[in-house]
Amino acid sequence: MKPAPFDYVRPDTLAEACALLAGDEDARLIAGGQTLVPMLAMRLARPARLIDILRLPELAGIRQEKDAVVVGATTRQAHAERDPVIRASVPMLARVLPWVGHPPTRNRGTVGGSIANADPSAEIPLAAVTLGAEIMLATPDGPTSMPADDFFIGPMLTTIGLGECVRAIRFPVWPQPRIGVGFFEISARRSDFAFVAAAAQVALDEEGRCLDVALGVGGVGDRPVRLDVASLVGTELDAASIVEAVNASSNDIEAMSDLHASAAYRRRVAVTLCVRALEEARANASAKPAKGAR
Protein backbone atom coordinates (compact mmCIF):
# COMPACT_ATOMS: atom_id res chain seq x y z
CA MET A 1 0.00 0.00 0.00
CA LYS A 2 2.88 2.37 -0.72
CA PRO A 3 3.02 4.35 -3.95
CA ALA A 4 5.75 3.61 -6.47
CA PRO A 5 8.47 6.28 -6.69
CA PHE A 6 7.76 9.48 -8.65
CA ASP A 7 9.20 12.94 -9.16
CA TYR A 8 7.33 15.78 -7.51
CA VAL A 9 7.20 19.25 -8.99
CA ARG A 10 5.25 22.29 -7.93
CA PRO A 11 5.27 24.87 -10.74
CA ASP A 12 4.62 28.56 -10.00
CA THR A 13 2.32 29.25 -12.93
CA LEU A 14 -0.44 27.46 -14.77
CA ALA A 15 1.38 27.90 -18.09
CA GLU A 16 4.40 26.13 -16.64
CA ALA A 17 2.21 23.32 -15.31
CA CYS A 18 0.58 22.82 -18.73
CA ALA A 19 3.96 22.85 -20.48
CA LEU A 20 5.31 20.23 -18.05
CA LEU A 21 2.19 18.13 -18.54
CA ALA A 22 2.25 18.41 -22.34
CA GLY A 23 5.87 17.34 -22.50
CA ASP A 24 5.50 14.17 -20.44
CA GLU A 25 3.01 11.39 -21.07
CA ASP A 26 3.85 9.79 -17.73
CA ALA A 27 3.05 12.91 -15.70
CA ARG A 28 -0.17 13.42 -13.79
CA LEU A 29 -1.65 16.47 -12.12
CA ILE A 30 -2.34 16.36 -8.40
CA ALA A 31 -4.42 18.84 -6.42
CA GLY A 32 -6.44 17.51 -3.48
CA GLY A 33 -5.33 13.97 -4.23
CA GLN A 34 -8.35 12.32 -2.63
CA THR A 35 -8.86 9.99 -5.59
CA LEU A 36 -5.37 9.94 -7.07
CA VAL A 37 -3.47 9.07 -3.87
CA PRO A 38 -5.50 5.88 -3.20
CA MET A 39 -4.90 4.92 -6.85
CA LEU A 40 -1.18 5.47 -6.30
CA ALA A 41 -1.22 3.57 -2.99
CA MET A 42 -2.87 0.59 -4.66
CA ARG A 43 -0.52 1.05 -7.62
CA LEU A 44 -3.44 1.26 -10.01
CA ALA A 45 -1.72 4.43 -11.19
CA ARG A 46 2.06 4.73 -11.53
CA PRO A 47 2.89 8.14 -12.94
CA ALA A 48 6.59 8.99 -13.24
CA ARG A 49 5.94 12.55 -12.18
CA LEU A 50 3.33 14.41 -10.15
CA ILE A 51 2.71 18.06 -10.99
CA ASP A 52 1.14 19.75 -7.97
CA ILE A 53 -1.32 22.47 -9.04
CA LEU A 54 -3.06 22.94 -5.70
CA ARG A 55 -1.46 26.29 -4.87
CA LEU A 56 -1.58 27.89 -8.32
CA PRO A 57 -3.24 31.29 -7.92
CA GLU A 58 -4.87 31.02 -11.38
CA LEU A 59 -6.97 28.09 -10.22
CA ALA A 60 -8.15 29.52 -6.90
CA GLY A 61 -11.18 31.50 -5.87
CA ILE A 62 -14.89 31.85 -6.42
CA ARG A 63 -15.95 34.71 -8.67
CA GLN A 64 -19.46 36.06 -9.19
CA GLU A 65 -20.23 37.23 -12.71
CA LYS A 66 -23.43 38.78 -14.02
CA ASP A 67 -25.15 35.51 -14.89
CA ALA A 68 -22.76 32.92 -13.53
CA VAL A 69 -20.51 31.89 -10.67
CA VAL A 70 -17.03 30.78 -11.66
CA VAL A 71 -15.59 28.26 -9.22
CA GLY A 72 -11.81 27.88 -9.43
CA ALA A 73 -10.67 24.30 -10.00
CA THR A 74 -8.74 24.03 -6.74
CA THR A 75 -11.59 25.32 -4.56
CA ARG A 76 -11.87 22.84 -1.70
CA GLN A 77 -15.18 21.01 -1.58
CA ALA A 78 -15.54 21.94 2.11
CA HIS A 79 -14.95 25.60 1.27
CA ALA A 80 -17.48 25.58 -1.57
CA GLU A 81 -20.02 23.93 0.73
CA ARG A 82 -19.87 26.89 3.14
CA ASP A 83 -19.33 29.68 0.62
CA PRO A 84 -22.10 32.31 0.81
CA VAL A 85 -21.94 33.12 -2.93
CA ILE A 86 -22.39 29.47 -3.89
CA ARG A 87 -25.15 28.96 -1.33
CA ALA A 88 -27.06 31.97 -2.64
CA SER A 89 -26.42 31.66 -6.37
CA VAL A 90 -25.69 27.99 -7.13
CA PRO A 91 -27.86 26.31 -4.50
CA MET A 92 -27.70 22.96 -6.28
CA LEU A 93 -23.94 22.77 -5.81
CA ALA A 94 -24.29 23.65 -2.12
CA ARG A 95 -27.03 21.03 -1.81
CA VAL A 96 -24.99 18.15 -3.26
CA LEU A 97 -21.63 18.88 -1.63
CA PRO A 98 -22.43 17.31 1.77
CA TRP A 99 -22.88 14.04 -0.16
CA VAL A 100 -19.35 14.14 -1.58
CA GLY A 101 -17.13 11.86 0.52
CA HIS A 102 -16.72 12.70 4.20
CA PRO A 103 -15.72 15.93 5.96
CA PRO A 104 -11.99 15.01 6.01
CA THR A 105 -11.93 14.20 2.28
CA ARG A 106 -13.91 17.37 1.48
CA ASN A 107 -11.30 19.37 3.37
CA ARG A 108 -8.70 18.32 0.80
CA GLY A 109 -10.72 17.31 -2.26
CA THR A 110 -11.31 19.99 -4.88
CA VAL A 111 -14.28 20.88 -7.06
CA GLY A 112 -12.15 20.74 -10.23
CA GLY A 113 -10.63 17.43 -9.20
CA SER A 114 -14.05 15.82 -9.01
CA ILE A 115 -14.89 17.22 -12.45
CA ALA A 116 -11.64 16.00 -14.01
CA ASN A 117 -12.04 12.58 -12.38
CA ALA A 118 -15.47 12.14 -14.03
CA ASP A 119 -16.79 9.39 -11.81
CA PRO A 120 -20.25 8.57 -13.22
CA SER A 121 -21.76 8.53 -9.72
CA ALA A 122 -20.10 11.76 -8.52
CA GLU A 123 -22.35 14.59 -7.36
CA ILE A 124 -20.35 17.61 -8.60
CA PRO A 125 -20.32 16.44 -12.26
CA LEU A 126 -24.06 15.74 -11.89
CA ALA A 127 -24.71 19.32 -10.74
CA ALA A 128 -22.52 20.65 -13.57
CA VAL A 129 -24.36 18.68 -16.26
CA THR A 130 -27.82 19.36 -14.82
CA LEU A 131 -27.25 23.11 -14.65
CA GLY A 132 -25.46 23.25 -18.02
CA ALA A 133 -22.18 24.48 -16.53
CA GLU A 134 -19.17 25.30 -18.70
CA ILE A 135 -15.90 23.48 -18.00
CA MET A 136 -13.12 26.04 -18.42
CA LEU A 137 -9.81 24.54 -19.50
CA ALA A 138 -6.23 25.66 -19.71
CA THR A 139 -4.50 24.23 -22.78
CA PRO A 140 -1.03 24.72 -24.25
CA ASP A 141 -2.77 26.97 -26.84
CA GLY A 142 -4.50 29.10 -24.23
CA PRO A 143 -7.80 29.03 -22.38
CA THR A 144 -10.87 27.36 -23.80
CA SER A 145 -14.16 25.99 -22.48
CA MET A 146 -16.88 23.49 -23.31
CA PRO A 147 -20.31 22.51 -21.97
CA ALA A 148 -20.19 19.94 -19.16
CA ASP A 149 -22.44 17.69 -21.23
CA ASP A 150 -19.72 17.45 -23.92
CA PHE A 151 -16.88 17.17 -21.42
CA PHE A 152 -17.95 13.89 -19.82
CA ILE A 153 -17.83 11.01 -22.30
CA GLY A 154 -17.75 7.89 -20.12
CA PRO A 155 -16.73 6.45 -16.77
CA MET A 156 -13.63 8.37 -15.62
CA LEU A 157 -13.34 9.63 -19.20
CA THR A 158 -13.42 13.20 -20.41
CA THR A 159 -12.49 14.96 -23.61
CA ILE A 160 -9.52 16.56 -21.88
CA GLY A 161 -6.38 16.35 -24.01
CA LEU A 162 -2.68 16.04 -23.34
CA GLY A 163 -1.31 19.09 -21.56
CA GLU A 164 -4.78 20.35 -20.63
CA CYS A 165 -6.03 21.18 -17.17
CA VAL A 166 -9.44 22.10 -15.71
CA ARG A 167 -9.18 25.78 -14.81
CA ALA A 168 -12.61 26.49 -13.38
CA ILE A 169 -16.26 25.56 -13.64
CA ARG A 170 -18.71 28.23 -14.70
CA PHE A 171 -22.10 27.53 -13.16
CA PRO A 172 -25.00 29.53 -14.64
CA VAL A 173 -27.03 31.58 -12.16
CA TRP A 174 -30.75 31.64 -12.79
CA PRO A 175 -32.23 35.16 -12.81
CA GLN A 176 -35.61 34.30 -11.25
CA PRO A 177 -36.16 35.20 -7.60
CA ARG A 178 -37.95 31.99 -6.57
CA ILE A 179 -35.59 29.10 -7.11
CA GLY A 180 -35.61 25.76 -5.36
CA VAL A 181 -33.43 22.66 -5.54
CA GLY A 182 -33.98 19.03 -4.74
CA PHE A 183 -31.52 16.19 -4.47
CA PHE A 184 -31.78 12.50 -3.58
CA GLU A 185 -29.35 9.66 -3.79
CA ILE A 186 -29.27 5.96 -2.97
CA SER A 187 -26.04 4.31 -1.90
CA ALA A 188 -25.02 1.37 0.28
CA ARG A 189 -23.95 3.75 3.05
CA ARG A 190 -24.11 7.52 3.35
CA SER A 191 -21.26 9.05 1.31
CA ASP A 192 -20.49 5.87 -0.60
CA PHE A 193 -20.74 5.88 -4.37
CA ALA A 194 -24.30 6.56 -5.48
CA PHE A 195 -26.15 3.81 -7.31
CA VAL A 196 -28.53 6.53 -8.40
CA ALA A 197 -28.54 10.27 -7.72
CA ALA A 198 -31.08 12.80 -8.98
CA ALA A 199 -30.83 16.58 -8.85
CA ALA A 200 -33.48 19.12 -9.80
CA GLN A 201 -33.77 22.88 -9.88
CA VAL A 202 -36.95 24.83 -10.56
CA ALA A 203 -37.91 28.49 -10.80
CA LEU A 204 -41.45 29.54 -9.95
CA ASP A 205 -43.38 32.70 -10.75
CA GLU A 206 -45.43 34.59 -8.17
CA GLU A 207 -48.42 32.29 -8.67
CA GLY A 208 -46.30 29.16 -8.27
CA ARG A 209 -46.14 28.26 -11.95
CA CYS A 210 -42.92 26.77 -13.26
CA LEU A 211 -40.77 29.23 -15.22
CA ASP A 212 -37.75 27.00 -15.72
CA VAL A 213 -36.69 23.51 -14.75
CA ALA A 214 -33.53 21.39 -14.88
CA LEU A 215 -33.29 17.72 -13.98
CA GLY A 216 -30.34 15.32 -14.08
CA VAL A 217 -29.41 11.82 -12.96
CA GLY A 218 -26.03 10.34 -12.07
CA GLY A 219 -24.75 6.87 -11.22
CA VAL A 220 -27.23 5.22 -13.57
CA GLY A 221 -25.28 5.19 -16.82
CA ASP A 222 -21.64 5.78 -17.65
CA ARG A 223 -21.89 9.54 -17.10
CA PRO A 224 -24.32 12.05 -15.61
CA VAL A 225 -27.15 13.05 -17.95
CA ARG A 226 -29.60 15.91 -18.11
CA LEU A 227 -33.21 14.93 -18.77
CA ASP A 228 -35.60 16.96 -20.87
CA VAL A 229 -38.57 17.91 -18.71
CA ALA A 230 -39.29 21.21 -20.49
CA SER A 231 -42.95 20.15 -20.70
CA LEU A 232 -43.21 21.14 -17.03
CA VAL A 233 -42.69 24.82 -17.82
CA GLY A 234 -46.01 26.61 -17.37
CA THR A 235 -47.47 23.91 -15.12
CA GLU A 236 -47.88 24.23 -11.37
CA LEU A 237 -45.58 21.23 -10.94
CA ASP A 238 -48.46 19.13 -9.67
CA ALA A 239 -47.69 15.50 -8.89
CA ALA A 240 -49.36 14.15 -12.04
CA SER A 241 -47.44 16.48 -14.37
CA ILE A 242 -44.14 15.64 -12.67
CA VAL A 243 -44.69 11.89 -12.96
CA GLU A 244 -45.75 12.22 -16.59
CA ALA A 245 -42.73 14.37 -17.53
CA VAL A 246 -40.27 12.12 -15.73
CA ASN A 247 -41.72 8.98 -17.30
CA ALA A 248 -41.57 10.55 -20.75
CA SER A 249 -37.94 11.60 -20.30
CA SER A 250 -36.81 8.35 -18.69
CA ASN A 251 -36.35 6.76 -22.10
CA ASP A 252 -33.22 8.88 -22.33
CA ILE A 253 -31.72 7.10 -19.31
CA GLU A 254 -29.18 4.46 -20.22
CA ALA A 255 -28.77 2.25 -17.17
CA MET A 256 -25.88 -0.08 -16.44
CA SER A 257 -25.69 -3.23 -14.33
CA ASP A 258 -22.90 -4.02 -11.93
CA LEU A 259 -22.19 -5.89 -8.71
CA HIS A 260 -24.22 -3.40 -6.69
CA ALA A 261 -27.39 -2.91 -8.70
CA SER A 262 -29.01 -4.11 -11.89
CA ALA A 263 -29.90 -1.82 -14.77
CA ALA A 264 -33.61 -2.45 -14.14
CA TYR A 265 -33.24 -1.44 -10.48
CA ARG A 266 -31.25 1.68 -11.35
CA ARG A 267 -33.82 2.76 -13.93
CA ARG A 268 -36.72 2.26 -11.52
CA VAL A 269 -34.96 4.10 -8.69
CA ALA A 270 -33.91 6.88 -11.08
CA VAL A 271 -37.54 7.57 -12.00
CA THR A 272 -38.60 7.63 -8.35
CA LEU A 273 -35.72 9.87 -7.25
CA CYS A 274 -36.32 12.25 -10.17
CA VAL A 275 -39.93 12.67 -9.06
CA ARG A 276 -38.86 13.25 -5.46
CA ALA A 277 -36.13 15.70 -6.45
CA LEU A 278 -38.59 17.75 -8.51
CA GLU A 279 -41.13 17.72 -5.67
CA GLU A 280 -38.49 18.83 -3.19
CA ALA A 281 -37.32 21.56 -5.57
CA ARG A 282 -40.89 22.82 -5.94
CA ALA A 283 -41.45 22.82 -2.16
CA ASN A 284 -38.11 24.54 -1.65
CA ALA A 285 -38.97 27.26 -4.20
CA SER A 286 -42.52 27.70 -2.87
CA ALA A 287 -41.10 28.49 0.56
CA LYS A 288 -39.36 31.56 -0.88
CA PRO A 289 -41.30 34.84 -0.81
CA ALA A 290 -43.15 35.55 -4.04
CA LYS A 291 -41.93 39.15 -4.14
CA GLY A 292 -38.77 40.93 -3.12
CA ALA A 293 -35.07 40.50 -3.67
CA ARG A 294 -33.36 37.16 -3.44
Partner 1 sequence: MKVDLRINGASRSADIEPRKTLLDALRENFLLNGAHAGCEHGVCGACTVLIDGEPVRSCLMFAVQADGYEITTIEGVAPAPGELSVIQDAFCETHGLQCGYCTPGMILAAHALLQHTITPTREDIVEAISGNICRCTGYGQIIEAVQFAADRLRKANTPRPHHGADQPVEAE
Q: Which positions lie near partner 1, rule CB under 8 A?
A: 1-8, 30, 33-34, 37-38, 40-42, 50, 52, 54, 78, 98, 101-105, 107-108, 190-191
Smallest distance from the beta carbon of 21 to partner 1, in angstroms?
Answer: 17
129 vs 165, beta carbon nearer partner 1: 165
Query: Quick check: 46 and 40 in contact, CB under 8 A?
Result: yes
Residues in contact with 73: Cβ distance below 8 Å, sequence separation at least 6, in sequence order? 31, 53, 59, 110, 111, 112, 113, 115, 116, 165, 166, 167, 168, 169
Are 196 and 273 a contacting pair, CB within 8 Å?
A: yes
Give the residue from 218, 209, 221, 198 showing the smallest Cα distance to 276: 198
As measured in angstroms, the least distance from the Cβ of 41 to partner 1 is 5
Least distance from partner 1 to the Cβ atom of residue 286, Å: 25
Q: Name residues whose C-beta falls within 8 Å of residue 288's C-beta, 6 or more positions apart in sequence.
A: 177, 178, 179, 180, 294
| 273: β partners | none
Long-range contacts of 40-46 (CB under 8 A, 24+ apart): 40/3, 40/4, 40/6, 41/1, 41/2, 41/3, 42/1, 43/3, 43/4, 46/4, 46/6
Considering beta carbons, is residue 9 or 22 the nearer one to partner 1?
9
Work out how close the CB of 3 gets to partner 1 at its nearest, in angstroms, rounded to a whole number.
5
CB-nearer residue toward partner 1: 30 or 194: 30
Which residue number, 50 or 126, has a Cβ lying nearer to partner 1?
50
- Residue 61 CB, nearest approach to partner 1 (Å): 18
Min dist CB 51 to partner 1, Å, is 12
Report the C-alpha gap between 290 and 216 in whole angstroms.
Answer: 26
Q: Which is nearer to partner 1, 189 or 291 (CB)?
A: 189
Instruction: Using the minimum distance from each CB to partner 1, give the nearer residue, 23 or 103.
Output: 103
Hey, what amino acid is at 209?
R
